[in-house]
């Protein structure tokens, strides 16, 4: 591979040379040591160039019948493909291997680059390089000998990876390359493969034919640490200007939030929880904690039921003597059999609740009849109001105008909660994408909203959202 790169006028950079030598190691029987190769390196270090030379080497030297290149967008996969075509056409010996008729096909869905020693694109011995978008159709109906999955961090589910990789099942000496910079929590394929590789490295248990080749800054490294930047950028000082990179690092660190998160994934090759900064940060939430806080007077109750009714949570909100609202989770438990009786009991305490609140979700609505039999009137509240509740909590935490008891149940829920944009600038907590049960967080969010919106003069009653 290294000699081939030099022969075609594209000598590999030192890191690429090291990667080629070790990722392409062979087992005693001639098969690739690694059937799955995972490469993580910061952007602009030559990933695409590596794939271009690699694909041509597979076609020309190893004579692989089918190479499939995929990326999240077909245009991205075509970028490496087109570069390989230009490079082959610019080299006298490689150019002779491109059939005059059918050597390059650019029809959508049939993008194929063919090399053939006898000049016949339809020859059984011809070697082909096809490209496809990363979806559940990529690779189907093909028998793939080498697979390239570019920008693996963008695979947010397993459909594309499984469709393409399973096209290698009947090829004993097949090899797949996944190459990317670091991702986020939604990068499920990249994260899973990386975790599996690290598990084998540390314990010897797992898939010994999964190879991890990673250039990344150490976890927690400062963006302006030049040594950390060098760990993720093997071409730093060679093709990448350290001064220019440091300028970007300074700006990203000062800006924080999404800008810093993207800098960490793309330049430091560090995985982040999300490229979008959380609506409510843990630091902001912790700053509003008061473990000795006490509310008095009127109060509201809110409850939420998780997806599948696997659990439920009940929260209360009341005003403290300093005028600030206080939010508490008073019970979070499995199932819902306990919910109606418990809510009725709490609602009758302290002179009666002004309102009982819960979201108008099917799982919550299923409990409404039982609450009604307990004498609780349930009034569903719209999704628009829930978005307003989330917006209120975000502002209240940011301005320090709310208090809570530092309940670990809420801390865990907040750390694992996902959000979804709603309308023009609004947002809400979303259960489906959250890593944990967020019923406690939803309950306190709604309780705080109800405390603010239910009229002060209202007599004790029952209200649900």
Q: Which domains does the chain show, CATH number per domain?
A: 2-214 (3.40.50.300), 219-277 (no CATH), 282-453 (3.30.420.240)
Chain-wide mean pLDDT for the chain? 89
Could you give the CA distance from residue 116 to residue 65 in angstroms, rounded to a whole number?
Answer: 10
**Mean pLDDT within 369-379:** 82
CA 182 to centroid of chain Cα atoms = 10
Confidence (pLDDT) at 349 = 81
Question: Where are any strands of DSSP class E within 173-283?
Answer: 175-180, 210-214
CA 235 to centroid of chain Cα atoms = 27
Q: Would the CA dihedral through 121, 127, 132, 136 be positive or negative? A: positive
* CA trace torsion 31, 12, 248, 272 (10° rounding): 0
pLDDT in tens, 96-135: 999 999 899 988 778 899 999 888 888 888 999 998 877 7
Percent of the chain, pLDDT > 70? Answer: 95
* pTM score of the predicted model: 0.67
pLDDT in tens, 286-303: 999 999 999 988 899 999
Q: State the CB neighbour count (10 A cutoff) for residue 188.
A: 15
Confidence (pLDDT) at 465 = 40
CA 372 to centroid of chain Cα atoms = 42
**Mean pLDDT within 31-43:** 96
Task: pLDDT band for 274, please (50, 70, 90 cuts).
Answer: low
**Mean pLDDT within 201-225:** 93
């Amino acid at each position: 591979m290294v000699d081939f790169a030099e022969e075609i006028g594209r000598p590999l950079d030192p890191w690429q040379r090291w990667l080629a030598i070790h990722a392409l190691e062979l087992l005693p029987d001639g098969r690739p040591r690694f059937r799955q190769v995972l490469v993580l390196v910061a952007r602009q270090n030559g990933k695409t160039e590596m794939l271009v030379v690699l694909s041509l080497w597979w076609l020309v030297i190893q004579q692989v019948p089918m190479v499939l290149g995929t990326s999240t967008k077909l245009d991205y996969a075509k970028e490496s493909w087109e570069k390989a075509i230009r490079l082959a056409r610019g080299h006298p010996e490689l150019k002779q291997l491109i059939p005059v008729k059918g050597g390059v096909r650019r029809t959508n869905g049939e993008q194929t680059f063919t090399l053939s020693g006898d000049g016949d694109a339809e020859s059984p011995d011809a070697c082909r390089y096809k490209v496809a978008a990363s979806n559940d159709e990529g690779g189907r109906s093909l028998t793939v000998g080498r697979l390239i999955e570019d920008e693996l961090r963008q695979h947010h589910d397993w459909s594309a990876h499984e469709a393409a990789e399973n096209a290698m099942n009947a090829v004993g000496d097949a090899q797949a390359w996944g190459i990317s910079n670091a991702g986020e929590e939604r990068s499920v394929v990249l994260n899973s493969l990386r975790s599996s590789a690290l598990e084998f490295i540390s314990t010897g248990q797992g898939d010994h034919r999964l190879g991890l080749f990673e250039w990344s800054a150490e976890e927690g490294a400062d963006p302006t640490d030049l040594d950390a930047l060098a760990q993720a950028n093997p071409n730093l000082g060679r093709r990448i200007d350290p001064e220019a990179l440091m300028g970007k690092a300074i700006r990203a660190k000062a800006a924080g939030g999404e800008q810093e998160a993207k800098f960490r994934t793309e330049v430091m090759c560090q995985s982040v929880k999300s490229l979008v900064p959380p609506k409510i940060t843990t630091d902001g939430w912790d700053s509003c904690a008061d473990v000795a806080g006490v509310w008095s007077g009127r109060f509201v109750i809110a409850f939420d039921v998780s997806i599948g009714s696997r659990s439920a949570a009940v929260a209360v909100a009341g005003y403290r003597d300093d005028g600030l609202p206080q939010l508490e989770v008073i019970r979070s438990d499995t199932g819902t059999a306990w919910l109606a009786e418990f809510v009725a009991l709490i609602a009758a305490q302290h002179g009666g609740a002004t309102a009982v609140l819960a979201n108008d979700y099917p799982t919550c609505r299923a409990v409404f009849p039982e609450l009604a039999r307990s004498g609780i009137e349930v009034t569903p509240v719209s999704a628009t109001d829930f978005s307003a509740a989330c917006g209120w909590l975000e502002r209240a935490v940011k301005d320090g105008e709310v208090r809570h008891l530092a309940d670990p149940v809420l801390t865990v829920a907040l750390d694992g909660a996902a959000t979804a944009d709603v309308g023009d600038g609004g947002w809400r907590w979303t259960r489906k994408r959250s890593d944990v049960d967020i019923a406690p967080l939803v309950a306190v969010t709604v309780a705080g909203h109800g405390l603010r919106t239910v009229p002060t003069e209202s007599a004790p009653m029952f209200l649900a959202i």
